[in-house]
Amino acid sequence: MKWFKLEGVSFTILSDIERDSVLKEWEALVSSVKSGVILARRRVEKFRYGKHDFIVDYTDFYLGLSDSLKTSIPYFRSVEVGPPPRPEVAGLAGVKTLYLSDGSYARVLIAYRYPSTLPESFLYTLFSDVWEVALIFRSVSRPKALSLVESAVKRKSAFASLVEAAHEVEALRELGERVMRGSDLIEFYLLVVIRAPELRVLNEVEERVKTLLKGFGVEVEASQDLA
């Protein structure tokens, strides 16, 4: 897999026009590469000033692509790099926990339910607890995309008497029209990786992350397929 380091952008300090520009660049990136993974990684560094030590958190962003895909990415000032550094998996500590080579423990939480809307940058609220967030995406073929949209319209139409369901049906029909005109339908999968020096701490982190995500309407569960 090829890896590119991307320059992150803080939405909170941008004007509406600047935000639109960033979103268009993001759409262009996804449309261009069709499939890949965006990895957001928390990096902690310690600085010393005089007699005082300071801990500073950073977030690094990476794009992972199949080796068969293009070798240059003209978005977010990308630079091709090696694989993001991480400790190796030394073994398993139960059906859903990895034991890493640096002596820490890790768990992969997979999102399986989302609300119809999410607040922008909601993932940043997780970074005091999570180690990595991976957003896996891939383009769906047009026949499959149209079939998925049609099935969703039928399901939602059963509740069309509800105002919210009626709006969703209209949005789905508009999505189907965009796919017919040549737009891509992209599937996204969200994985949250947590890591801790002890199993007890890891369990506490998992509960905090689950509770926080549930507040946004996102349900996650630890993966048991770690082979």
- Pick the most confident of 28-37, 113-122, 217-226: 28-37
Predicted pLDDT at 140: 87
Predicted pLDDT at 185: 85
In the chain, alpha helices (H): 16-33, 142-157, 163-180, 199-215
SS3 11: helix
Tokens of 35: 């499939």
Q: What is the pLDDT of residues 72-91, one digit of tens each?
A: 889 999 999 999 988 899 99
pTM, entire model: 0.84
Predicted pLDDT at 193: 94
Domain boundaries defined on the chain: 1-85, 89-227
63 neighbors 41 (Cβ within 8 angstroms): no
Tokens of 110: 């997979």
In 70-162, alpha helices (H): 142-157
Q: What is the pLDDT of residues 127-149, one digit of tens each?
A: 888 999 999 999 888 888 888 88
User: Does 98 have pLDDT greater than 90?
Assistant: yes
Predicted pLDDT at 221: 93
